[in-house]
Structure 1
């Protein structure tokens, strides 16, 4: 069995969107307008993991406040999960943030994303806030968790 090689590099919003639209868990994928509006006037980092030249994963974040980086969105296409891509993107984002002078990284996820929760805790991210689901029809799986890591 041949091991597929992947590379991580800074990429474009178009590359982010090419992956975003292929993630089945995202009921409402972000649009280019959504992303550009959020990033407007901010320092940001778009990391792309590519296999054989094709984007298969991304991590996108931006400066939320002086010395605070917010890791906003990220995903790995289903066929490429379990290969360490999310971890590699996380570590590269942390490296870049330290290099840029950020002191903290924050990220939000939902209780339903068990693999993400495990990865964050195993890389020294700590729970900073829990937000209850808005609607009574939602479950504990919909609880939002904000994590923070000191760099």
Structure 2
């Protein structure tokens, strides 16, 4: 298992395998968010197969937004999400950012547990719909 930098097309191919991401962003959304900002697209591979991804981009000179990430169902439980997050954090710190921001939802408790376990703090919540499962939870972590 390893990770490398990747492309929007690879991310989109992986998104098509993720049942939770049933309303995928069009390619234009990726381009709009990434082309004007410093960004990192990570691709995880297991024995040459695409297994997961993580995408993030700069919000400012000091803040980095960890936007989107997922692991394909066949590769879950192998520590891929944690590996990608740790690698992303290292890269973010090397680039000189001070804060990492991420949003998740109540419907993804494993993600929330992972983030809290890695030192992220709950800082805000957006009521994105009438159901609490879809509330957006904003978390932040200060870089070292």
TM-score by length of 1: 0.91
Q: Tell me the equivalent position of 1:117.
A: 112
User: 1:75 and 2:67 equivalent?
Assistant: no
Matched residues, number:
143
- Identify unmatched segments of 5+ residues in structure 2: none
User: 1:64 and 2:59 equivalent?
Assistant: yes
Q: Tell me the equivalent position of 1:149.
A: 141
Output the aligned Cα RMSD.
1.0
Larger Rg: 1
Q: Displacement of 1:140 after TM fit?
A: 1.1
User: 2: CA distance between counterparts of 1:30 and 1:52?
Assistant: 28
Q: Which runs of 4+ in 1 moved over 4 A?
A: none
Q: Secondary structure at the match of 2:19?
A: coil
User: 1:87 and 2:82 equivalent?
Assistant: yes
Q: Displacement of 1:144 after TM fit?
A: 0.8
Q: Tell me the equivalent position of 1:16.
A: 11
Structure 2 counterparts to residues 96-107 of structure 1, below 5 A: 96-107=91-102
Q: Which of 43, 59, 68 in structure 2 is aligned with 1:48? A: 43
Q: Displacement of 1:113 after TM fit?
A: 0.2
